[in-house]
Amino acid sequence: MENPYSPDPKVLNAVRSPLGMAALIVSVLTLIMGGVLATGLPNEVKEVCLAFYFIGVMGCGAAVYHMARKDQRGLAYGPNELIEESRFQHLERMAMRQSK
């Protein structure tokens, strides 16, 4: 019997990919920053929050850039795609060995 409360695997795979996670983090930071700017807090507090927002966005950008330099294909793939790709590579190598 399937659990009706289990999360959708497509959504989980999208969040597990580095680009999906970075987009989620930037979206959450933007929502929080919009909420802070809409409040009646003093301007100094808003400026500090804005600085943290820009640091967070730049951190996400730097992390995505680092991942892109390290492994271009893994940037958009989720863990399931990477496992499938490595399985196909293994099967191809075994087929090449058997054909020799």
pLDDT in tens, 26-70: 999 999 999 999 999 999 999 999 999 999 999 999 988 888 888
At residue 29, the pLDDT reads: 94
Q: Is residue 4 part of a domain?
A: no
Split into its structural domains, the chain has a count of 1
Containing structural domain, residue 46 = 9-99
At residue 39, the pLDDT reads: 92
The Cα 39–Cα 17 span in angstroms is 34
More confident call, 24 vs 76? 24
CB atoms inside a 10 Å sphere around CB 29:
18
Q: Is residue 36 part of a domain?
A: yes
Q: Is the pTM of this model over 0.75?
A: no
Q: Is residue 78 part of a domain?
A: yes
CB 25 within 8 A of CB 60: yes
